[in-house]
Amino acid sequence: MLHSTERLLYQYLEAYRKLYNRRPAELRVLDEDWVVVNGARMRITELEYLTNQLQMEYLQVLGQRRS
């Protein structure tokens, strides 16, 4: 489980960096089910959803730049 959690943290970090051009203020693992992201405690599944949202938002930004 930890391996997939680490991968998800990396994916979130990269998506956040691409979209906002900076690192998140806080990103840490509490246990196998919970993380803290920018001061908000959330489940791993919520972080996965948030990561997908950031990735989609980044793709929209890229699409707008190209047109």
What is the rounded CA–CA span in Å between residue 21 and residue 33? 28
Cβ(58)–Cβ(21) under 8 Å?
no
Is the per-residue pLDDT at 2 higher than 80?
Answer: no
Q: Please identify which residue in the block is written with the tokens 């489940």.
A: 43
The 10s digit of each residue's pLDDT in 24-67 is 999 999 998 999 999 999 999 999 999 999 999 999 999 988 87
8 A C-beta contact, residue 51 and residue 11: yes
pLDDT band of residue 17 (cuts 50, 70, 90) is very high
Q: Of 32, 21, 27, which Cα lies nearest the Cα of 50?
A: 27
Query: Is the distance from CB of 8 to CB of 51 less than 8 angstroms?
Result: yes
